[in-house]
Amino acid sequence: MSNEPLESIKDIQELSSRKIAVLLVDDQRIVAEGVRRMLEPEQDIEFYYCGDPSNAIKMAIENDISIILQDLVMPDVDGFTLLRFYRANVNTKDIPVIVLSSREDPKIKSDAFNNGANDYLVKLPDKIELIARIRAHSRSYMARMERDAAFYALREMQKQLEETNKKLEKLSHQDGLTGLANRRSFDEALERECKRAHRDGHELSLLMIDIDHFKLYNDTYGHQAGDDCIKYVANVLSDTANRPADVAARYGGEEFSVILPSTPIEGAKTVAEKIRASVEEANIEHTASPDYDQVTISVGIASLTPDDGICAKDLISMSDKALYCSKEQGRNRVSSNR
């Protein structure tokens, strides 16, 4: 029986219901016939014979063997060496092995156990005793395999649950259309970054961005085109505000925000202008716009320094006012609170 992990409850159930698979490794066919006849009446036991010890491990793996009966004296391969091979192979290392020896010798018994044997019988053993020991060792082996499979299945379920929870957690902080941070995630991030800015003495900037005349665009070109426009602007934000600490978010509808930690006002203006220019250069048609014949954005910037003493709410209000200024001055521009 392979030691590859079982991956489902069905695998575990199949394991518990399968027959005992016995592999006899012995170069004497007369011994094999004797053992076969002993086991033949037992409906829960399947018998396999290997007369060539060099094929023993291969046969054990291919036939999902649950117990090996192993002769010690064979031509070409020493039985003790073969025992060590079983234990060194990942697929056979746990399969119980009953050594069949022609001698009742304490020294040979000791060597057999030291080399990995689980039991020792003088051949040919009594039928009742042989079957009893086969069943006892096989039951123990299968129970261990079922236990390991159950633990493996449980670990896999826990991993899947953790991965699912991580995905759900990520989704709960993402905007469904754009993949940007959603409003909830934005609020949490801005509050966190404001506290960090005051604590660490760093400047913090916030961009508020609005697609100009978006309602007219949506009414003219349809909701699908409107969604595509929103997604395009979102991609521009992701590509531009791409430092690990930057947070680009969909603030609501056609409005976006970008949190720029450790960024003074001049740096924020550079980022904002790059975003504005990228949208303009895309030359997305907007014939319904009273100002331009293409899609444009307006940007408002607010920035705090550690000694300002302002909070996240203040920063949003300031950037909103700056955005209003951009719109009042003709749109498709960047304005700041200073």
**CA angle, residues 59, 61, 67, in degrees to nearest 5:** 80
Q: How far is CA 220 from the centre of its chain?
A: 44
Catalytic residue among 193, 203, 254, 255: 254
Rounded CA separation 23/327 (Å): 84
For the chain, the C-alpha Rg in angstroms (whole number) is: 37
- In angstroms, the first-to-last Cα distance of the chain is 75
Does 203 participate in catalysis according to the annotation?
no
CB 69 within 8 A of CB 98: yes
Count the Cβ atoms, other than its own, within 10 Å of residue 14.
Answer: 12
Where b means 16+ CB within 10 Å and e means fewer, 250-261 reads: bbeebbbbbbbb
Neighbour order of strands in the sheet with 67-71: 45-50, 20-25, 67-71, 97-101, 119-122
Rounded CA separation 312/187 (Å): 8
What residues are annotated to the active site?
A: 254
